[in-house]
Structure 1
Amino acid sequence: MSAPLRIGMLGASRIAEESIIAATAETGDIRAAVAARDPERARHYAAERGFSAAAESYASLIEDDSLDLVYIGLPNGLHAEWAARALEAGRNVLVEKPFAANLAEFDRVAARLERSAGWAWEAFHYADHPAMHRLIGHVREGAIGEIRGVDVHMDMPAPAPRDPRWSFDLAGGALMDLGCYALHALLLLGDQLGGELGGVRLPTAAPLTLDFARAEGHTGDARVDATVVAGLELGGVPVSMHTSMASDEWNFGLRVHGSLGEVVLPNFVKPQEDGRLIVRTTTGAGVEERSEHLGASSSYTHQLRRIRSAVRSGERSRVGLERSRRTMALIDEVYTAAGLPLRPGRLAS
């Protein structure tokens, strides 16, 4: 097994409890340093959560040459700025989604990769979990026949009114915080289900195109989407996407239905919380349903293991980065189609 990573973390954030703290407890990677806006808060956080040190600032942390990876779990609007600065310092970077506030800002960060000793990955952790791999496998093998449609939800109850996810200036909104997962998953499906395998008929690298998008604005700021509904096509197959930060319930479901049945992940983003993969097929005897349980380990743990392998091997694959770019481009397209402004970026060049 490769040597543990020394990880530095920007932001004493909520998501880091799962993505770094719980994940490193499984992988054995080292919580080397954490930085927060308030150095005193960073010191308390470090002591309580097993970090070796607390940096005095974000800038001082990314200058630490002993770090193998910098994790950026800051509010959305700060992701691109600090990813760019970390890359300029030669660090490897794991950036929370969304990678940037808009496509132009994404491209400004990506330009740093050409002259950086480090590399960058966007934290779409769900894609590393066996549950997503199995869903793709069932569809490729023809378990549900020819694909007829895809439905994806990313819905949750409303965050508190002052939560940064409601801030336009910090690149907030349901599509930015949740819907990016849906768009990324659809692109992953299109990439993986190309060709004609097991009755699946999609062109190679099936394109994901937008038909329409509608949005409901947040009551506190109409520029910030509380709910987005979109219709898309995946290689000609109809797709429905619904994402909301104003739902009565949690629903992170992904469903692919075909001529012979359907395959469903009730929680494709966090299968560790509901690890069922459900396959329903129709036969002469009626509907047959079977479940596989694949959620014993966290998607964040699988993600960190993959990143460690990439860092230790020096891998600089553009496949994931290109999918992240297409996700960002679709986010901009959905906002424009829904009549909402693009989120403002902070990275000028």
Structure 2
Amino acid sequence: MSAPLRIGLLGASRIAELAITEASGETGDIRAAVAARDPERARAYAREHGYEGIRESYEALVADDSLDLIYIGLPNGLHAEWTVRALDAGRSVLVEKPFAANLAEFDRVAARLESARGWAWEAFHYADHPAVHRLIDLVRRGEIGEIREVDVHMDMPSPSASDPRWNFDLAGGTMMDLGCYALNGLLLLGDAVGAPVELVSAEVDPYEGDARVDATVRARLALGSAPVTMHTSMVSPDWNFGLRVFGSLGEVRLPNFVKPQEDDRLIVRTTTGAGVEDREERAGTVSSYVYQLRRLRDAVRGGERSTEGRARSRRTMALIDAVYAAGGLPVRPGRLAG
């Protein structure tokens, strides 16, 4: 097993508790440092969550040569800027999704990667879970036949009005926070069967506090010749992170494809000459964040510079921009200069 990573948090955020703090308790990686806008907040976070110490600023954290990996859990609009700053300092980066505020900004980050000593990965942790691996395997092997239709939901109740996910200037909106998972998952599925994913149409319900920000999106896409319906909302009465794939010989459903550890069922229906068979498979309740961090440790220690994930991330960002254009909203503003 490769040596534990020394990890620094850029931002004392809620999502960092799942992605790094809790996950490192399972993987044995080292909670080395925290930086926040307010050093006192960083100190409190470090004490509460067992980090060795703090750095007095974001700049000090990314400049720290003792750190193997920087985790960026800042608001969306800051992801690209601080990914580049960390790369320029020689660090490797795990950046929360979305990688950037828009496609042009994504391409600026990607250009910096070419000459960087470290590397950057986008935190689509769901794709590391065995439940998703199993779904891809079932589809690739043709157990449900050819894909005929896909339905995906990314819905949650509303965050508070002060939440940065509602802030246009910080690249807020349901597509940026939730819809990116749906699109990335569709692209992962399409790659498994060699089918492109294209946007057909999109309808947007704007946030009541800012008409530039999307609260709910209903989109139609195509995965090859198969129609796809996507629904994503940050004002839903209920949580729904479901993915359902219908094929010519059956169907497979993940009730929670983004956090399979919370519902690890794969619900499968197949049709054969003997009739219809229904079954449930269980993929296990180890967190997707744990699997992600295990993979990242090996990638950092092994000097991995894989472009497969980056290419899928770019297509995800391109589809997000396309949804905004089709829905009549502006793309999110980026902060990274060209």
Structure-2 residue corresponding to 1:10: 10
Let me know the Cα RMSD of the aligned residues. 1.0
Q: Look up the match of 2:145.
A: 145
SS state at 1:272 partner: helix
What corresponds to 1:319 in structure 2? Answer: 308
Q: Secondary structure at the match of 1:323?
A: helix
Name the TM-score, length of structure 2 as normaliser: 0.98
Match of 2:320 among 307, 325, 331: 331
**Deviation at 1:288?**
2.6
CA distance in 1, matches of 2:181, 2:267: 20
Query: How many aligned positions are there?
Result: 338
Q: CA separation in 2, counterparts of 1:253 and 1:6?
A: 34
Of 225, 230, 246, 1:241 maps to 230
Distance in structure 2 (CA, Å) of the matches to 1:223 and 1:149: 31
| 1:186-225 mapped onto 2 (5 Å cutoff) | 186-194=186-194, 206-225=195-214
Taking the TM superposition and a 5 Å limit, the aligned residue runs for 1:69-80 are 69-80=69-80
> 2:161 aligned with 1:172, yes or no?
no
Amino acid at match of 1:39: P
Q: Secondary structure at the match of 2:168?
A: coil
1:119 corresponds to which residue?
A: 119
Tell me what 1:259 maps to.
248
Task: Look up the match of 1:130.
Answer: 130
Amino acid at match of 1:234: L
Question: Retained in 2: the 8 A contact 1:76–1:100?
Answer: yes
Q: Distance in 1 between matches of 2:170 and 2:207?
A: 15
CA distance in 2, matches of 1:300, 1:122: 12
Match of 1:300 in 2: 289
Aligned mates of 1:342, 1:257 — CA distance in 2: 32
Residue 283 (structure 1) shift = 5.0
In structure 2, the residue matched to 1:40 is 40
Secondary structure of the residue that 2:170 maps to in structure 1? Answer: coil
Summarize the alignment of residues 82-93 of structure 1 with structure 2, pairs less than 5 Å apart.
82-93=82-93
SS of the residue corresponding to residue 169 of structure 1 reads helix
SS at match of 1:289: strand
Does the alignment pair 1:226 with 2:215?
A: yes
Q: Give 1:161 shift.
A: 1.1
1:320 counterpart SS class: helix
How far, CA to CA, are the matches of 2:284 and 2:233 in structure 1? 24
Amino acid corresponding to residue 46 of structure 1 in structure 2: A
The C-alpha deviation readout for 1:277-335, integer Å capped at 9, x for no partner, is: 11012456764321111132100000011111110111101110111011101100110
Range that drifts further, 225-234 or 274-283: 274-283
Q: Which moved more, 1:286-295 or 1:92-101?
A: 286-295
Distance 1:314 1:143 in 2: 36
Aligned residues: percent identity? 75
Asked if structure 2 preserves the Cα contact closer than 8 Å seen for 1:2 and 1:312, the reply is: yes
Aligned-partner Cα distance in 2 for 1:253–1:315: 32
**Please, which runs of 5 or more residues in structure 1 have no aligned partner?**
195-205
Equivalent position amino acid for 2:329 in 1: L
Moved more, 59-68 or 110-119: 110-119
**Partner Cα distance (1:147, 1:109) in 2:** 34
CA distance in structure 2 between the aligned counterparts of 1:289 and 1:25, rounded to whole angstroms: 37
Worse overlay, 79-88 or 274-283: 274-283
Deviations 1:22-80 (A, max 9, x none): 10000000010000110000011101101001110000000000110000000111101
Tell me what 1:346 maps to. 335
Task: Measure the CA separation in 2 of the matches of 1:317 and 1:285.
Answer: 44
The superposition leaves residues 67-96 of structure 1 with CA deviations (integer Å, 9 ceiling, x where unpaired) of 100000001111011001000001000000
Structure 2's unaligned 5+ residue stretches are none
Once residues 274 and 306 of structure 2 are traced to their aligned partners in structure 1, the CA distance between those partners, rounded to angstroms, is: 47
Contact 1:273 1:295 in 2 (8 A): no
* Residue type of the alignment partner of 1:47: R
